[in-house]
Amino acid sequence: MATVADVTVRTGRRAELGLLGIAVLIAVLARGLVDYHADYLELVPLAIYAGVWVAVALGVHLAVRRWAAFADPVLLPAVLALNGIGLAMIRRVDFAYAARGRDTDFGQVQMIWTLLGITLCVLVLVLLRDYRLLRRFTYTAGVLGLIGLLLPLMPVIGTQINGARIWISVFGKSLQPGEFAKIALVIFFAGYLVSNRDTLALAGPKILGMRFPRPRDMGPLALVWVAAMLVQIYERDLGTSLLLFGIFVAMLYVATERLSWVIVGFVMFLGGAVLAGTLFSHVGARYTAWLHALDPEVYRSGASEQLVRGLFGMASGGLFGTGLGEGRPDLVPYAESDFIVSSLGEELGLTGLMAILTLYLIIVHRALRTAIGIRHGFGKLLAAGLGFAIALQVFIVVGGVTRVIPLTGLTTPFLAYGGSSMLANWVVIGLLLRISDQARRPDEVA
Amino acid sequence: MNEPVRRLSVLILVLFLALMVAASYIQVIAAGDLNADSRNVRTLYREYGTFRGPIVVGGESVVWSQPVDDPFNYQRSYSDGPLYAAASGYYSIVFGSTAIESTENALLAGTADELFWTRLGNLVSGETQRGASVELTLSAEVQRAASESLGDNTGAVVALDPRTGEVLAMVTSPTFDPAALAGHSTSEVNANYQELLAQEDGPLVNRAIAGDTYPPGSTFKLVVAAAALESGYSADSELYAPDELPLPQTTITMQNYGGASCSPTEKQTLADALRISCNTAFANLGMTLGWSVIERKAEDFGWGDQLSIPLAVTPSRLPVNPDKAQTAMASIGQYDDRATPLQMAMIAAGIANDGVLMTPYLVDNVRDSALRIVDQHEPEQLSTPMDPADANTLTDMMVGVVDNGSGRLAQIPGISVAGKTGTAETGADENPHAWFVGFAPADNPVVAVAVLLENGGNAQGEITGGRLAAPIARIVMEAAIAAEGSR
């Protein structure tokens, strides 16, 4: 690694403040447009909304100055911009439903989740002064992660919603423990891999010039594979299954620098998915709905109707979209959650969708930069794992809606309606801010 | 561990590129196909979900879009659906649209080229697209009078302003309620439509312009008389009017209506022959003139034209190369003569307007959502079937029909009415069609009218145009004169 000669390090806090201003502007203008097109534009509520956003942005900015002064300056504005767009879109869907006589207040609820999420993010910064602390909880995190993942299968609390059994209900509230399990498992993978990387990396037979792992070292991979398959078959959730397994294989690759792990993992997952597709009809139906979505028979059976309606929505948006409040997002089921991407595609057009994907890319890019910047192996794996988790989750959701891969029930981070996802993803941002702060802090470099 | 992280970022870039390509494919490349997909209700909602302009009669909307809380946003509503159904047509999410709703769709929907500047203005001001309003030439009073006087008889009434060609009334009976097809429940609309289709008397058919064409019977004698005047005959020219006219190269003998005698001397003036509607005199006159002269005159009056007012009008037909006997039959409006009620009203209008036939039209003006006129229809001449002197002569002859002939029941006190009755044979088992065409006031006409009672409507007893159709025409003409006075 190159030595740093210059001792004056820019914190980037001022840049962050400027970018936060832009993010707040996007959020408030989007909301204003939505209200305007719903003939609901009143200046006082909009001013209050703008005030809340300014306060939140300033608050979180000051918190970062106080507890993570050297944190990456781009992460927070990018996430807030996404969050603001999501809130506006969800409010817009509320209006669309209201026009059809269906009263929903997704927008209000999501605002509360957003504020809670940001609070959690700040709490992470306040309470976790050194991310290396987390390594102590490697195996605790692993157990918690597995429990969280399999909790929805428990008889009493597990609940099936929209065909996927990824929910638990506690005190009448439904929760997606998988979102939190994701974080715990990344911590576990990072801790486990940083301790065992040498064994996993060096030993094993050479086939076709490539060193493959020894069968006895395949244990952890096999375990995660089994968990992923269980999730896919019994929770009917291909998304979480793919996400979990993908994160693990990616982190394994980062830890061992061996492409053979990726190949083995990829083959295992593909084999498992094909097997599950043939053996279990409900898994197979998902694949059919994906491959033959527009087939009249598949459509009529209802299997691909949701997906195709989403495609119709995006197609109607075209290059520049109908404009916020001008489309018909309510014609797609779950326009505020699973299909918020197609709602955004319809009203903001391909242009808007590209911008949103670019925001995600920026966030992921910042996470991976942090991974490269930090010296500690555990931190590298943690940052890379969290960054890849966001990237893969976006790929799985948006890919499902755009028919790149089969449709799954994952949420779009920061955009889709849903509390668990909002809280969990803000925690991820908190962790990334903490790691980046330590990566860029001068005394760490020197 | 940095190298794999860099490679991971490349992988992520590839994944996102895949998403961007997929989104581009859906939103740009495949968008046309997806938007055109029959399962895509969005296209339907977009078309049916925008504010559609109203159809206006006499300054008041008779068809308009009412905002409603369902996915279509607007419900097509009708102040007097059945009355204007023939003109407005229906607007259905299942069966599409007809009549004005169909022909003026681009204007009503707001997508027409004429509305380009309006749309541009809306784009700047951020308003949503709103359709233009289409004002019809129909007169509410005349339309209502025509509809009420026709009652539940099967038939049609057309009233024109002979000076401009404006369609003042267009009534077909039986009619239907377009509201029954404008609902947003596919199954309900479908059931209503099937019910209308199942009715034997065809309520969806516009008998005035586009139903079956009908043999015009004696009303066709106006065409023959016009041809005769042009060929040098006068009102006083003597015609051969026997009680029985043997038709050449056949064993058929033509008689007058009810076997009556036209004249004890077997001679009769052209005016008298028209007044009492003498068949043998006109059949013989037709044979003397020759079919080509009559055919040309009929064509001058618009016969055979493919009119669109802008509703498509079925062209009226004439026999092709009839022989002598067929010419005789065709000269009294039988054989292969077929006309729409609009065509017969046009004959009356052409005579009424000093021999100048104005092109009939139904749309007076179009206004954009800001009520600016984007299109004002100017009257235009269709043809000049007669010179003014001949037209005046024929008018006088037609006044005789009403004053002192077969059309007495069309008389309006204090106003001179010109007219011609017709009773058209249709076949052995069916009742004849009863016709009346005419105009009033004869010296300064403001309305030309044609009334058809298909198979005599539901009349009991003797069926003649004079008895059944003339009274209806009178009510319509009275209404038009009253409306003209209050204008």
**Best interface-test mutation with B: which of A300, A341, A394, A402 has the largest number of B CBs within 10 A?**
A402
Number of domains observed in the structure of chain A: 1
Does residue A423 belong to any structural domain of this protein? Answer: yes
Q: Is the pLDDT of residue A335 over 90?
A: no
Amino acid residing at B455 = N
Q: Which pLDDT tens digit goes with each residue over B152-210? A: 899 999 999 999 999 999 999 899 999 999 888 878 888 999 999 999 888 999 999 98
- Nearest chain B CA: its distance from A327 CA (Å): 9
Which residue, B127, B243, B153, B81, is CA-closest to B455? B153
Q: Where are the alpha helices (DSSP H) in A235-339?
A: 238-256, 259-279, 281-291, 296-300, 305-317
Amino acid residing at B436 = F
Joined together, the tokens standing for residue A437 give: 């702060």
Q: How far apart are CA B98 and CA B171, in angstroms?
A: 16
Return the higher-pLDDT residue of B264 and A221: B264
Q: Is the pLDDT of residue A280 over 80?
A: no
| CB contact B251 to A (< 8 Å) | no
Residue of A nearest to B128 (CA): A326
User: Residue B127 — very low, low, confident or very high, per pLDDT cuts 50/70/90?
Assistant: low
Does residue A203 belong to any structural domain of this protein? Answer: yes
Q: Does residue A441 contact residue A70 with C-beta atoms inside 8 Å?
A: yes
User: Residue A446 — very low, low, confident or very high, per pLDDT cuts 50/70/90?
Assistant: very low
Q: How far apart are CA B230 and CA B290, in angstroms?
A: 13
- Nearest chain A CA: its distance from B119 CA (Å): 15
| CB contact B186 to A (< 8 Å) | no
Amino acid residing at A229 = M
Q: Does residue B5 contact residue A364 with C-beta atoms inside 8 Å?
A: no
Instruction: Mean pLDDT check: name the lowest of A129-143, A146-160, B138-152.
Output: A146-160
User: Residue A2 — very low, low, confident or very high, per pLDDT cuts 50/70/90?
Assistant: low
**Chain-chain contact of B12 with A308 (C-beta, under 8 angstroms):** no
Does residue A335 belong to any structural domain of this protein? Answer: yes
Residue of A nearest to B36 (CA): A312
> How many residue pairs from chains A and B have C-beta atoms closer than 8 A?
129
Given the residues B92, B97, B173, B218, the one annotated as active site: B218
Return the higher-pLDDT residue of A170 and B445: B445
Q: Which pLDDT tens digit goes with each residue over B404-422? A: 988 999 999 999 999 999 9
Q: Which pLDDT tens digit goes with each residue over A96-106? A: 888 766 788 89
User: Residue A445 — very low, low, confident or very high, per pLDDT cuts 50/70/90?
Assistant: very low
The values of phi and psi at residue B167, to 5°, are -85, 115
Does residue A281 belong to any structural domain of this protein? Answer: yes
Residues of B in contact with A402 (CB under 8 A): 19, 22-23, 26
Q: Is the pLDDT of residue B123 over 70?
A: no
Q: Which pLDDT tens digit goes with each residue over A30-64? A: 999 998 888 778 889 999 999 999 999 999 999 99
**Chain-chain contact of A318 with B28 (C-beta, under 8 angstroms):** yes
**Chain-chain contact of B27 with A253 (C-beta, under 8 angstroms):** no
Return the higher-pLDDT residue of B259 and A428: A428
Looking at residue A171, what is its pLDDT? 64
Could you give the domains of chain B?
Answer: 217-362+380-485 (3.40.710.10)
In terms of residue numbers, what domain contains A72? 13-445
Does residue A250 belong to any structural domain of this protein? Answer: yes
Q: How far apart are CA B280 and CA B242, in angstroms?
A: 6
User: Residue A162 — very low, low, confident or very high, per pLDDT cuts 50/70/90?
Assistant: low
**Chain-chain contact of A255 with B69 (C-beta, under 8 angstroms):** no
* CA dihedral of A432, A436, A437, A440, whole degrees rounded to 10: 180
Which residue, B117, B120, B167, B168, is CA-closest to B140? B168
**Chain-chain contact of B39 with A99 (C-beta, under 8 angstroms):** no
Residues of A in contact with B14 (CB under 8 A): none
B 99-128 residues with CB < 8 A to A: 128
Q: Is the pLDDT of residue B38 over 80?
A: no
Joined together, the tokens standing for residue B359 give: 């092109």
- Measure CB to CB from residue A403 to each of B22, B27, B70 and give the nearest one: B22
- SS3 (DSSP) at A173: strand
User: Residue A387 — very low, low, confident or very high, per pLDDT cuts 50/70/90?
Assistant: very high
**Best interface-test mutation with A: which of B19, B37, B48, B129 has the largest number of A CBs within 10 A?**
B19
User: Residue B487 — very low, low, confident or very high, per pLDDT cuts 50/70/90?
Assistant: low
Residues of A in contact with B7 (CB under 8 A): 253
> Rounded mean pLDDT of B234-252?
87
Q: Which pLDDT tens digit goes with each residue over B305-328? A: 999 889 999 999 999 988 888 999
Does residue A34 belong to any structural domain of this protein? Answer: yes
Q: Is the pLDDT of residue B463 over 90?
A: no
B77 tagged catalytic: no
Q: Which pLDDT tens digit goes with each residue over B355-378? A: 999 999 999 999 988 888 888 999
- Nearest chain B CA: its distance from A345 CA (Å): 8
- Measure CB to CB from residue A257 to each of B4, B24, B35 and give the nearest one: B4
Looking at residue A444, what is its pLDDT? 47
Which residue, A211, A208, A227, is CA-closest to A219? A227
Does residue A5 belong to any structural domain of this protein? Answer: no
Q: Which pLDDT tens digit goes with each residue over B50-72? A: 788 899 999 899 999 888 877 77
Three-state secondary structure string covering chain B = CHHHHHHHHHHHHHHHHHHHHHHHHHHHHCHHHHHHCCCCHHHHHHHHHCECCCEEECCEEEEEEEECCCCCCEEEEECCHHHHHHHHCCEECCCEECHHHHHCHHHHHCCCHHHHHHHHHHHHHCCCCECCEEEECCCHHHHHHHHHHHCCCCEEEEEECCCCCEEEEEEEECCCCHHHHCCCCHHHHHHHHHHHHHCCCCCCCCCCCCCCCECCHHHHHHHHHHHHHHCCCCCCCEEECCCEEECCCCCCEEECHHHCCCCCCCEEEHHHHHHCCCHHHHHHHHHHHCHHHHHHHHHHCCCCCCCECCCECCCCECCCCCCHHHHHHHCCCCCCCEECHHHHHHHHHHHHCCCCEECCECEEEEECCCCCEEEECCCCEEECCCCHHHHHHHHHHHHHHHHHCCCHHHCECCECCEEEEEEECCCCCCCCEEEEEEEECCCCCCEEEEEEEHHHCCCCCCCCHHHHHHHHHHHHHHHHHHHHHCC
Residue of A nearest to B20 (CA): A354
Work out the percent of chain B whose per-residue pLDDT is above 70: 97
Supply the mean pLDDT for chain A. Answer: 87
| CB contact B428 to A (< 8 Å) | no
Length of chain B measured in residues: 487
- Nearest chain A CA: its distance from B194 CA (Å): 25
The pTM assigned to this predicted structure is 0.65
ipTM of the complex: 0.92
Q: How far apart are CA B393 and CA B409, in angstroms?
A: 22
- Measure CB to CB from residue A331 to each of B19, B42, B73 and give the nearest one: B42
B 49-78 residues with CB < 8 A to A: 49, 69-71, 73
- Measure CB to CB from residue A315 to each of B1, B15, B26 and give the nearest one: B26
| CB contact B45 to A (< 8 Å) | yes
Looking at residue B220, what is its pLDDT? 94
| Mode of pairing for the β-strands spanning A210-211 and A206-207 | antiparallel
> Rounded mean pLDDT of A363-391?
94
| CB contact B46 to A (< 8 Å) | yes
User: Residue A241 — very low, low, confident or very high, per pLDDT cuts 50/70/90?
Assistant: confident
Residues of A in contact with B34 (CB under 8 A): 311-312, 315-316
> Rounded mean pLDDT of A199-217?
71
Does residue A8 belong to any structural domain of this protein? Answer: no
Looking at residue B26, what is its pLDDT? 93
**Chain-chain contact of B19 with A364 (C-beta, under 8 angstroms):** no
Q: Is the pLDDT of residue A398 over 80?
A: yes
User: Residue A336 — very low, low, confident or very high, per pLDDT cuts 50/70/90?
Assistant: confident
Q: Which residue in the block uniquely carries the two structure tokens 């939140």?
A: A56
Q: What is the DSSP letter of A235?
A: S
